[in-house]
Structures are given as C-alpha cells and as structure tokens.
Structure 1
C-alpha cells in the first residue's frame, strides 16, 4: 500500500478545478445552455472556495468576461484541452503521511476510445502537475499506466474505495488486467485497503460505461447515498437492487456495515432518442455547501430535502443540470477538488 491517504470530498479544499466546455459537437446545438450551467456551478463554488478554470486559449476572453465580477475567487489556467470533464482527466490529490500534497495521474483513453481527439486531455494532468510543482504547492507525484477516470472511483477518506465492475472491468479500458490486478493497483496507488465492487452504473450511462459517481457516493464514513425507483419495469430497478445487495453484504475498511440512503430517481428523459442517465448522486461538496443537480422534476424537492438532512452543516445549492447531462456528465463530472493540508494525519 502506498504511504498516502485519499481525503474524502467533504474534507476541506484549497480549490476546485473546472474545465470550460470546448467540444462543440457533444452539446448538439445546446452549447450555450451547457455553458450557462457550467457558469452557475462555478459561481456556486466560488461563494465558498477558490476556483481555477482550465480554458482553451481561444476561449479565454469569453470566459474571463463571463466571470469578470468574480475574478477575486476565480483564476484561469490557460491550456489546450479536448473536452470538459475535469473529474476524468485531472489528477487525484492525496496527502502523504508527513502532510504533503501528492498528485496521482493516470492513463486516459477517452472512455474506451469513444471520442477523438483526446491527446490534449491525456496531457492536461501533466501540465497541471508541473504548474503546481513550480508553485511549490505539490510535494510529489506519480503516474499510473492503468486506464482510469476519476468518476469511476469514489473514496471515503478512511481507506475504502467504491467502484463498478461495469466500468473498471470493461474490455475497452484494461483488457490485460484481471479484477484482482486492478484492485491491487487501486490499493497500492491510492493507499486504500478495501474496494467495494458494485455491479453496474445507471441505465443510459453509455458514455462512461457505468461510472460510480452517477449511481452511488460516500457522504460520510460508513454511509452511501444512492437512488431508488418503485417502477419494477424500469431497467434501473434491478440495477439498484443488485448494487444495494452488494452494499448490504459489505463492510468498509474500518469494518462498519453501510448505512444506505436512497433518493427517488428523477423521471426518465430522452435526448436524441437515447435515455439520459439523470442522477441526483452526481453532486459536489465544497467548503460549507453541497451543489446538487436538479432537473425541473417532481423529485427535485425530495432530493434536496434529503441532502439537507444528510449535510445539516452545509448549504444545499440546487443547479439546473439537464444541459450538462445532455453532454454526457453532471456536476461532479465537471469538477475536481484539491484538498487542503491538515495537521496530525491519521496513521
């Protein structure tokens, strides 16, 4: 096991990284609506912590003007990228035992060669690491040769990782690695001791092959939030049941059984004759707030009420996220947290 700890997302952040939308074709004529939703997310985060927006050089003037009134909390990292899913292409940040920031970069193949080009997205993590190293924010870093995306894994901060077999065992990622080999890599690089393998991601999540951050997430140690449906005919019904059974039969790295919190899923919606993987689980936690996707759906209010119960010390901020989901992701997908260092790290 590596001598690092992966902080949970609810721990304090130094900043959040976001990539501004740039792959026009994925928005199918809805790019401006997507940009408006991205901007709402950035503005919500900026109320609570610093935001660094990665932006293609040709889009910098536009973005700078759109965010001109919040330049005190928003900075820009001008570098070429192919797409706008920070969670999947930026490095993860861990903390070493001596309380230093450590970056972990991974190999990226555009979710199994689904989109092209992606060379700039492959390189953006290295550019970010070099910038943080030059500014002395970063103490160390390493690269993983295994194909991975940040949305395919989720951490509880205490040695447990949550993922799905549908994604990490997909032949379009690491066909030469067995489940055991992938699990050992995850344990080694991320300093964890327990991997919980859910069966599948949400129905319709074809772009990512079932990322875990669309279907289940830790909200505190020993507690996982997911979705449910009473519609036994909906494909998600059996998926939720299988994943719930895994959680009920599992314990985390500390030996705790899981408390499972369920939110009724939003009503199904189609986009270009394909089902959208709409999810309240693709939320993002910042310093003092939780940014929750909503869809103008009857279950929005139920979801927000549950988040208020789960995070009583946080402000719950709803953001209309349907335009982002039309492009293949959600609020969690467009963000990556950089954790703040703290004293007396747990051994």
Structure 2
C-alpha cells in the first residue's frame, strides 16, 4: 500500500509564506545552442534569482564545474549548492514541497515524482535531473515520499484548499504514465498533494507541443491566485491557434467549482501581441508568474500587454510588489519564470 503523505501533509498554495526559492543553473545541454546562448541564458536565470532574492532566500543548484562561475554571476546573498545536472528547469525536476498538519504540524515533506524528460522525449537527458528532487528535499531537511508516477511541477497548480488544476495530455501522456487511467492518476495526485478535487483541462497551449515543449503544462494556461480565483491565458487574436483553446478553458473554468464548492472566478490575462519569433510560434504567457514573499515576479515580453497584466496582478495582490522581468530568453528555451523556480514553503 502506498504511504501517502496526505496522511499528514499537503501542498500549500504558492502564495503561502516561503522559506526559500530553489533554482538550477543552466549547464551545457541541447537546450542551449552554443556558448553565447548559454551565457545569455545564465544572465536571464541570474536576473530572476537576484530579483527573487530581494524578497526571500534563494538557493541555486549548479554542477560542480559551474559553481564558481554561478557564484560570481549571481553575487552575494544567493546560495549555491553542487550536484550533477542535465538541464535547468527546477519546477519540473525538483520536488513538490508539502507542509504538515495535525500531528505533523511544523514539519516539511516533499513529493518526489519520477522525472523522465517530459515523457522520455528523444532530445531530453534526465540521468542527473531525475535525482534532483531527492537531492533538494534532503538539502531542505524534508521527509521524502516517493512514487512511480511521472509528473512535473509545471503540470500541476493547487489552491491549497483541496483543488488541483492539470491537463489530460501531461498526466495521461503514454510517454509518462502508460496504462494509467484518469481515475488512477487522479487518485495518485490527491494522495500525494492532499487534494480532493481535480479540474482537468483538455490540453495546453499550441506551441507547447513543439519538439522542445512539455506537451501541455498547465502553468502557462491557468493558475490559482487565491482560493476560488484563477487567472487564465487569454489569446484574443481570432487567427491565433490558441484563441479557441483559451475560450474553451475560460468557459470551462467559469462553470467549475473548487473542492469547497465555490464557483470559480476567472480573471483573463491578455496574451502579448507577438505571435512568432524567428518563424516559430511562441507560447508567451503571463500565467507563468512566480509568487514569492511580498512580490509577484511577472514575465515581461517588451509588449504593451506587460503593463496591462502588471495592473491586473497589482489588483489581485495589492499587498505585494509586482516586478516585471524580461522572460523572452527563458521562453526561447522552453519555459518561463515559473518553470525555473520551485518554492519551499514555511512549515
């Protein structure tokens, strides 16, 4: 019988107080084309780390051979720990932290999912990254719960009160969990997250199904920002392939209820105007923000919609500072600010 952490632990919402943020330092891989690209990406990851460090502690995992360079670029005040790495997406390879309640109150735990390169994609490497969840959990002093279920942190989003958002094309991906039924996957997620209701979206954004995509991570489509309230990517260009999808998701969520029976309030986040970069469709999304102590770290794309979405988030989080950070370099490699961060909540 699986020893579910839900017996005493659950995943808190991202807006709950954090102990720190975890990130991974970009290292040579297929994700980064050449030395110049790697240097540009390290600068982008570093900008995110330094921005978050204004609000809470940040620890960055770097390869031993890269740690000195990481410390130099990151600067004082950001911790660097050493471990072998394949890539730089801490949200996906890292653990999902849980906090205790009842007899486990005050304790920290972690769900250590199986990570297999986003469904064993032919370009991906995960020999080292598949061990990072356990490594980070140990560094944090968390009790670790393991499962045979393949999942990534970008594939789930919780409200901290029993509800989880997810997509059918991730958790039910044959490259991730072959043979698992929707009911089995849902039970496993509830058991590890401490949730009781799953809201399944049909799929993710179109560009996320390209060669280097995740096959539908929910954290660029929709996210909880407070109990009963979700933000949703709103592609307002009727000619864009994500227009119909975003309308479908908005309609679905407006008729959905959470684990406590509340009808969801849906806040639309207008997509930036840019459609393609270098002839490739992009999935730029303001949903892929990160909440840290006292701040919203919001993706920016040098687009008029940056200001529109910053205003929306300021209204949602009047007591937090909204900080725009250019995320175009990060998105060029397959994700955004949420994808490269992982929160460690305060127990």
Query: TM (normalized to structure 1)?
Result: 0.93
Q: CA RMSD in A?
A: 1.4
**1:194–1:55 distance in 2 versus 1, CA, 3 Å:** same
**1:272–1:147 distance in 2 versus 1, CA, 3 Å:** farther
In the other structure, the counterpart of 1:41 is: 48
CA distance in 2, matches of 1:116, 1:211: 16
Give the count of matched residue pairs: 333
Find 1:309's aligned residue among 287, 311, 315: 315
- Stretches of 4+ moved more than 6 A in 1? none
In the other structure, the counterpart of 1:6 is: 11
Find 1:274's aligned residue among 264, 272, 280: 280
Q: Which sections of structure 2, spanning at least 5 residues, go unmatched?
A: none
Deviation at 1:8, TM superposition (A): 0.4
Q: Which sections of structure 1, spanning at least 5 residues, go unmatched?
A: 342-347
CA distance in 1, matches of 2:28, 2:114: 20
Find 1:297's aligned residue among 293, 303, 317: 303
Deviation at 1:272, TM superposition (A): 5.2
CA contact (8 A) 2:157 2:218 kept: yes
**1:33–1:282 distance in 2 versus 1, CA, 3 Å:** same
Find 1:205's aligned residue among 190, 205, 208: 208
Deviation at 1:217, TM superposition (A): 0.5
Deviation at 1:269, TM superposition (A): 3.8
CA contact (8 A) 1:292 1:319 kept: yes
Render the CA deviation track for 1:186-238: whole Å, top value 9, x for unaligned: 11111110000011211201210110001110000000001213322211111
Residue aligned with 2:166, SS: strand
CA distance in 2, matches of 1:52, 1:75: 5
In the other structure, the counterpart of 1:122 is: 130
CA distance in 2, matches of 1:64, 1:228: 38
In the other structure, the counterpart of 2:228 is: 222
CA distance in 2, matches of 1:271, 1:167: 25
CA distance in 1, matches of 2:124, 2:152: 16
CA contact (8 A) 1:226 1:261 kept: yes
CA contact (8 A) 2:70 2:80 kept: no
Alignment pair present for 1:94 and 2:98? yes
Render the CA deviation track for 1:60-117: whole Å, top value 9, x for unaligned: 111111123x33xx11111111000000011111112221111110111101122332
CA distance in 2, matches of 1:272, 1:56: 31
CA distance in 2, matches of 1:64, 1:260: 41
In the other structure, the counterpart of 2:255 is: 249
CA distance in 1, matches of 2:289, 2:181: 31
In the other structure, the counterpart of 1:77 is: 81
Query: TM (normalized to structure 2)?
Result: 0.93
